[in-house]
A and B are shown apart, each in its own frame.
Chain A
Amino acid sequence: MRRRVLLAAVALLPATAHALDVASLRFDQLYKSFGVRGYEFSDTLLSLKGKPVAMKGYMAPPLKPESHFFVLTGQPLALCPFCQSDADWPADIVVIYLKSAAPMLSGGDPVLVSGRLEVGSWTDPETGFVSQIRIVDASFRRG
């Protein structure tokens, strides 16, 4: 039921008019191995580098009510990494940079993000946050 509503909503929105060109990417497709000495990006991920992708996940508890930046996680976070000093991010996160700042949602609801995939180490000059996988020029909606 919920899915059907979502599809209807997507069909109405011009931003996702190119839905057919957009590859969907899942959290379990990001890496092919998780070694102690480092992870290996999956072939799927590398083949989508620089291309438009859509990804479903959960918005981690945001720092500010409105932002151009948030962290997408595969599972709803049981901890708030910003709230508790001993908490830490899960290993497989995707950092989302929005086209324009938008009001943030709570961590409990899934979101669908679309934008251009970036892969490789990058340090946000503003926050110092280091990421490996990003979706930039992104937009999102409740998923």
Chain B
Amino acid sequence: MKSVAASCIAGALAVVASAVAPVGAQTIYPIDRAEILAGSRFDLKVEFPGAPDQAAARVTINGQDPASVLGQSAMFTPNEDGGDYSAYWIRGASIPKAGKYTVEATVGDRKSSVVWEVFDTGAPKAKNVILFIGDGMSIAHRTAARILSKGIVQGRYGGDLAMDDMPYMALVSTAGTDSIVTDSANSMSAYTTGHKSCVNALGVYCARNKNTLDHPKVETIAEVVKRLRGLSVGVVTTTEIEDATPAGMVAHTRRRSDYNDIVKMFFAVQPDVMMGGGSPNFLAKSTPGSKRTDEDNYIKKFEDAGYKFVSTKTELEAANGAGKVLGLFNTGNVDGALDRYFLKKGGVTRFPDQPDLTDQVKASLDILSKNDKGFVLMVESGRIDKYAHSLDWERSVYDTIMLDNAVKLAKDFAASRNDTLVIVVPDHAHPVSLVGTYDDKRPGQQLRDKLGIYAEAGFPDYPAANGQGYPDKVDVSRRLAFVFGAFPDYCDTGRPYLEGENVPAVTGATKETFVANEKYCTTPGAVRRTGNLPFEAGQGVHSGDDVLLTAMGPGAEQFRGRIDNTRVFRVMATALGLAPGSGQ
């Protein structure tokens, strides 16, 4: 089996010498099969193992000197970062003309090669793009959100979600360059740059550089539309603004946790609207509550650059008319809908006036739509994923409903005009599923006694949703049995966590291990689940399952069948007509 696979690859790549080169062949970034928007910027890097001299190493693009093709001169660094390799760099390159480009790197008799596709876009079809990310939003989240917010009778729903009712759909594969399972950095980077990368990386390929900020960069859509087209850009989230998904709009780092650098990158790109949580990385280190390591006060820097700074829903509403807005509504993540509207847990006491994602989207559209050239707005419901990590499905599903409410606003905005592409897509999946209902009235004492499956599941008895699509009660007697396929040791109560977000496991006695959080183990009916994850995993994890994209508006017709996540960038770039000479 193995040899068959190997020979297939060798056959397919017979002309590519790298397929038969010994271990330690040259590595070329961007990698083979990269799709590059014509005119967008990227760094070409070739790593030559064994640290050969410049004279012995040769790089060509379509047989020519790369400097002439890319319009920038090359740098050669023997033993880069003290490593046993030499690095060939052309930073800030771009290729204006579409076509196939073969990059060859040769040293002695060893040759590697990759082929890039530089793509054109044609004329603009859309003026605006609104990209909604349901972080970690899996099929079960979507189905549960529909059950809770629309109701279901005799197998028929009381209605569609706003994200359901869209004309175009595609199945999106999310794997990265390093793994079948991605993270939110790498996956968002694929949407915003069109290049796949590795876990924890944003806007860079994962090369051998020691400094996380030195890896080969690729341009983000926010940078491209600002640089080439003068569009406005909005970045809106319910997580910390420095977190992977919003950071994916502006950041270039191998390590997503470089929050202080990411704030600096936001300042460099200057999206016209930025909203989320995570203020501590904007505060000078001498300010109590700061997480910076320098004395830079980024709230002041943004204010000095013409931004209106807001920290509450009331201030956001009053900012109507501002040209640029920075909204930081929490020191951590913005609280989710279940806590803000119903349970009043999490940070709601400390931050009682946080906006809803719908408030944020409404304010963003008001500001961004003032630009006659158009805008790109990214909106993330980020805690769908956070709560899925903490095995707290009710909070995840309430934030899925919140996302859908925000999508409804964007659809209404787009409906009155035929110039806005709206995309709703998760960045990756979680291993979650609906397997039935837990019914307190079923006989028996154990949690599994309470689980109704097939015909016994019936329908849950959540009250009808309120005007915002939320049932006002989640601790009902017949609840969804929403299960997690991968977990650490934890105690499963089969009930919602009314006292605050679930913390399934805590650090254990042995280094880098986790044990069940005992506080849930005494709940009547709770069952102790032996983890099926590696011991160092303290919470639920992502899965490599495909995710579902829906879209509407000009350009959306390009979504069909199964696509790689990088295609989302290409569809956005094509809809906006971003390649040079495309008529703008």
Contact = CB atoms under 8 A, between A and B. Distances in A.
Contacts of A128: 293
A39 B280 CA distance: 10
Contacts of A76: 506-507, 517
B257 interface: yes
B293 A123 contact: yes
Contacts of A130: 285, 290-293
B515 A108 contact: yes
A13 interface: no
A36 to B, nearest CB: 4
Interface string A107-135: 11000000000000101000010101000
Nearest to B289: A39
Contact of B350 (A34, A77, A78, A80): A34
Nearest to A34: B350
Contacts of B71: none
Interface string B502-516: 011111111110110
A21 interface: no
Nearest to B518: A108
Contacts of A80: 507, 512, 538
B539 interface: yes
A108 B509 CA distance: 6
A106 B332 contact: no
A61 B328 contact: no
Nearest to A41: B288
Interface string A86-124: 111101000000000000001110000000000001010
Interface in B442-499: none
Nearest to B331: A91
Contacts of B280: 91
A70 interface: no
B310 to A, nearest CB: 9
Nearest to A92: B289
A9 interface: no
Given A37-B311, A76-B506, A61 B255 contact: no
Nearest to A83: B512
Given A37-B299, A106-B509, A107-B506, A31 B288 contact: yes
A85 B508 contact: no
A76 B508 CA distance: 10
A36 B508 CA distance: 33
A62 to B, nearest CB: 8
Given A108-B507, A121-B290, 15 more contacts: A36-B279, A61-B511, A76-B517, A77-B506, A78-B503, A78-B506, A78-B507, A78-B538, A80-B507, A80-B512, A80-B538, A85-B200, A87-B257, A130-B291, A132-B290
26 contacts: A31-B289, A34-B331, A35-B289, A36-B351, A37-B311, A38-B283, A38-B290, A39-B289, A41-B288, A61-B512, A75-B503, A77-B506, A78-B390, A78-B507, A78-B539, A80-B538, A86-B243, A86-B244, A91-B280, A91-B289, A106-B509, A107-B508, A108-B508, A123-B285, A123-B293, A132-B288
Interface of B: 183, 200, 243-244, 255-257, 259, 279-280, 283, 285-293, 299, 311, 328-332, 350-351, 390, 503-512, 514-515, 517, 536, 538-539
